[in-house]
Amino acid sequence: MSDHARSNGYTRRRALGLAGRGALATTAAVAGLLTVYQTPAAAAQSNWKFCRRCCGLWFSGNNTRGGCPAGNLFDGGHHLDGSGNYVLKVQADGGAGQDGWRWCAQCQGLYFGLNAGQGICPADASLTPGPGHYPISNPSFGVFINSALFRIEDVDHRDGPGGQSQWRWCVKCAGLYFDGNSPGASGVCPADHRNHSRAGSGDYVLRQL
Ligand SMILES: [Zn+2]
Ligand SMILES: [Zn+2]
Ligand SMILES: [Zn+2]
């Protein structure tokens, strides 16, 4: 288990930022079009999608598009056009990676939930007293309780070769987003409607079916 999302030391942040810029030349493709070679544990949850409007990862199998911070076009939800079918493993699946990632009941996005405040949610925050995400692990969502805590691989803690790197944790909204199309200037953040920020983030790895 690593601790990247909670790390905010200057030295680590700088090192990770440099690593991200160095990888730019090899990652011009759209997130959904990259090929992945390995399937994770059988208990993993599929139907996670990349939204090319906000660059966030969101769950598409819950009969809602959640809330997208990129604006109110169409129904205001995330889009899945062009996305691969990402699979996430839950903590109980074991293997490498960082625990503490949660699925938000409001925006349907994946976010790191072990920090205070629960980040900033782009959806109507009707379930929370503040602006944060709301973990779907809450007992009122009992049917999902066993799939609520996810373990996410990163380039230094991975189950094997393959996968898609350059997924980042945003220090502003706590969401996971893909930073490989325009590294350092990706998506739309619900915290300020500017790009997400990868400051202090690890380089996370996702896999597709
Ligand atoms: Zn979106
Ligand atoms: Zn949310
Ligand atoms: Zn953000």
* CA of residue 11 to ligand 1 center, whole Å: 31
The bound ligand whose nearest atom lies closest to the alpha carbon of 196 is 3
- The stretch 38-63 carries a mean pLDDT of 80
* CA of residue 172 to ligand 3 center, whole Å: 5
At residue 115, the pLDDT reads 87
pLDDT above 70 covers what percent of the chain? 71
Residues 123, 115 contacting (CB under 8 angstroms)? no
14 pLDDT more than 70: no
The bound ligand whose nearest atom lies closest to the alpha carbon of 174 is 3
Q: Which of 144, 143, 150, 162 is nearest to 94 (CA)?
A: 150
* CA of residue 42 to ligand 3 center, whole Å: 30
At residue 72, the pLDDT reads 62
Q: How far apart are the C-alpha atoms of 188 and 90, rounded to whole Å?
A: 27
Total domains in the chain come to 1
* CA of residue 52 to ligand 2 center, whole Å: 17
- pLDDT tens digits, residue range 58-107? 999 888 899 999 976 667 899 999 999 999 988 888 899 999 999 898 89
Among 22-26, 118-122, 164-168, which stretch is predicted with the lowest mean pLDDT? Answer: 22-26
Residues 104, 68 contacting (CB under 8 angstroms)? no
Residues 17, 198 contacting (CB under 8 angstroms)? yes
At residue 124, the pLDDT reads 74
- The pTM score is 0.76
Among 52-56, 149-153, 164-168, which stretch is predicted with the lowest mean pLDDT? Answer: 149-153
* CA of residue 57 to ligand 1 center, whole Å: 8
Owning domain of residue 183: 4-208
* CA of residue 1 to ligand 2 center, whole Å: 24
Among 30-39, 101-110, 173-182, which stretch is predicted with the lowest mean pLDDT? Answer: 30-39
Neighbours of ion ligand 2 (CB under 5 A): 104, 106-107, 121, 133
198 pLDDT more than 90: yes
